[in-house]
């Protein structure tokens, strides 16, 4: 009895999947690529919660900090903005960012005097010769309702009216202590772009676009490709001829030209790119599904399903399509890589995702002129990111192909 259960264990429906996953894990290169993809997905999901610039689209610009080298450091004075800012919860801020509550002023020097602080603004030039500004201490550490929101009660105490209507009293000593905490050193790990934005934040948020385009485009291509391919092969006749003719027409049009045409028809934008790329990648899916269904529909279990009176929809989606999952997984991995390349190309041409939404293609477009200068990394880094993502998905696709190949699977 125990021997029968052991043999039955390997004849269960999940055994082939388990064996394929075991073979895939033995492929060190494919597993490394999968771990890299999962890491990028995790970083993309966490998004604004882990990047230095947490503003929507990581679009905090400071032109005086333009094109600073990696590791650049600068003193900043964080002065509260004198208007009411909506504070979102953690998950909303993680997905969409949070509007800044304070203004960051790059400075090179500061001095406290009485109830105010004087700073020299950083200009990015040598010698600096920046503008000298003076702020009341309360104007730095609190969002004030009006310019006359600060009233001096005594030599060492002030009454302060906040933007939300509340009034607080605070001594000058406490104001100075809070103001000192508002002056911090900021470090740009990968430097800044030509608009003075944090480059690391742009790269991380840009990964969301590539992953989103790949995922949604693959879903669209699978829905369209599986439906048309399965219907054509199962019913045959004039339906098959019509769908095959349509597939050949779409197949004959260069992919990039077709994407550009669809983009022009739908308009430029974030969601338009998803639809445009997805509607051009279904052809290969349909061809593979049609070929697989043509060979499977002659099997005995399909004839038995017809004899039992099952509906065509049930036979196709419950009995035939589960047998073509393996090649579809491999094609999806390759299509994911293609979608990333197509989106980057569209954004580079200016007809894909539009600014201020960060995209690796847009980042290359904005900085490719710096390749011949001392800032080549501004264009190279997003290019390397695209290359690594595409390479990772192709390696995973090859690993899945080898793991799912039943001809080499050994019991």
The residue-averaged pLDDT of 212-218 equals: 90
The arithmetic mean of pLDDT across residues 226-237, rounded, is 90
pLDDT in tens, 371-405: 888 899 999 999 999 999 999 999 999 998 888 87
Average pLDDT over residues 4-26: 64
**pLDDT higher than 80, residue 147:** no
- Asked if pLDDT for residue 109 goes beyond 70, the answer is yes
Q: What is the pTM for the complete model shown?
A: 0.87
Helix, strand, coil share of the chain (percent; to 5) = 60, 15, 25
- Residue pair 224/277 in contact (Cβ under 8 Å)? The answer is no
Average pLDDT in the 225-241 region?
90
Residue 374: CB partners within 8 Å, gap ≥ 6? none
161 three-state secondary structure: strand
User: What phi, psi does 54 have (nearest 5°)?
Assistant: -95, 10
Residue 319 has pLDDT above 50, yes or no: yes
> In 60-170, where does DSSP find H-type helix?
90-96, 137-141
Give Cα separations from 345 to 272, 277, 341, 348, 370 (angstroms). 15, 11, 6, 5, 19
pLDDT surpassing 50 at residue 4: no
Which of 15-19, 47-51, 125-129, 308-312 is most confident?
47-51
Q: Please report, rounded to a whole number, the percentage of residues in the chain having pLDDT higher than 90.
A: 44
**Per-residue model confidence (pLDDT) at position 407:** 56
Higher pLDDT pick, 316 / 394: 394
Distance of alpha carbon 214 from alpha carbon 224, whole angstroms: 16
Alpha carbon separation from 230 to 8, 45, 223, 291, 300 (Å, rounded): 32, 34, 11, 9, 18
Domain edges within the chain: 14-41+200-404, 73-188
Across residues 121-129, what is the average pLDDT?
88
Residue 103 has pLDDT above 80, yes or no: yes
Q: Given a cut of 70, is residue 3 above it in pLDDT?
A: no
Q: What is the pLDDT of residue 45?
A: 93
| pLDDT(232) > 50 | yes
Domain 14-41+200-404 CATH superfamily: MetI-like (1.10.3720.10)
CA distances from residue 47 to 97, 158, 249, 378 in whole angstroms, order as listed: 8, 40, 41, 20
Residue 406: what pLDDT?
59
Query: How confident is the prediction for the chain on average, in pLDDT?
Result: 87
Q: Which residues contact 51 (CB under 8 A, 6 or more apart)?
A: 58, 198, 200, 201, 204, 205
Could you read off the pLDDT of 69-99 as tens digits, one per residue? 999 999 999 999 888 888 889 999 999 999 9
Cα angle 366, 367, 369; round to 5: 115
Q: Find the length of the chain.
A: 411
Beta bridge partners of 188: 72
With residue 271 as reference, give the H or E element that holds it: helix 270-278
Is residue 135 left, alpha or beta, with left meaning phi > 0 and alpha meaning psi from -120 to 50? beta
- Torsion angles phi and psi, residue 172, rounded to 5: -65, -35
pLDDT at residue 311 above 90? no
Question: In the predicted model, is pLDDT for residue 411 greater than 70?
Answer: no
pLDDT band with cut points at 50, 70 and 90 for residue 229 = very high
């Amino acid at each position: 009895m125990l021997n029968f259960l052991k043999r039955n264990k390997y004849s269960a429906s999940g055994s082939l999947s388990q064996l394929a996953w075991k073979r895939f894990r033995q492929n060190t290169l494919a597993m490394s690529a999968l771990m890299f993809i999962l890491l990028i997905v995790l970083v993309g999901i966490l998004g604004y919660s882990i990047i230095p610039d947490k503003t929507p689209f990581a679009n905090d610009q400071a032109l005086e900090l333009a094109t600073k080298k990696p590791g650049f450091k600068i003193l900043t004075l964080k002065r509260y903005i004198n208007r009411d800012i909506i504070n979102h919860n953690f998950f909303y801020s993680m997905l969409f960012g949070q509007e800044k509550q304070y203004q960051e002023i790059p400075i090179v020097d500061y001095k406290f005097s009485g109830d105010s602080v004087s700073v020299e603004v950083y200009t990015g030039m040598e010698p600096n010769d920046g503008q000298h500004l003076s702020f009341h201490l309360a104007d730095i550490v609190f969002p004030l309702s009006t310019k006359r929101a600060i009233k001096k009660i005594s030599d060492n105490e002030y009454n302060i009216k906040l933007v939300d209507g509340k009034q607080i009293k605070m001594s000058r000593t406490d104001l100075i202590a809070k103001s000192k905490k508002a002056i911090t050193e900021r470090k740009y790990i990968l430097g800044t772009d030509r608009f003075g934005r944090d480059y690391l934040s742009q790269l991380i948020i840009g990964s969301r676009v590539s992953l989103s385009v790949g995922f949604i485009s693959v879903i669209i291509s699978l829905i369209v490709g599986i439906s048309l391919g399965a219907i054509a092969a199962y019913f045959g006749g004039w339906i098959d001829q019509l769908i095959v003719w349509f597939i050949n027409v779409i197949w004959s049009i260069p992919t990039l030209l077709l994407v550009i045409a669809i983009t022009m028809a739908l308009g430029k934008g974030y969601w338009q790119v998803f639809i445009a790329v997805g509607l051009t990648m279904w052809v290969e899916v349909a061809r593979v599904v049609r070929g697989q269904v043509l060979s499977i529909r002659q099997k005995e279990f399909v004839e038995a399903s017809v004899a039992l009176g099952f509906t065509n929809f049930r036979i196709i989606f419950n009995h035939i399509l589960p047998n073509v999952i393996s090649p579809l997984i491999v094609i999806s991995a390759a299509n994911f890589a293609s979608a990333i390349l197509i989106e980057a190309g569209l954004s580079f041409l200016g007809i894909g995702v539009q600014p201020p939404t960060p995209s690796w293609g847009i980042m290359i477009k904005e900085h490719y002129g710096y390749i011949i200068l001392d800032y080549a990394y501004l264009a190279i880094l997003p290019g390397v990111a695209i290359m690594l993502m595409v390479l990772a998905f192709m390696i995973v696709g090859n690993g899945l192909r080898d793991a799912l190949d039943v001809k080499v699977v050994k019991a």
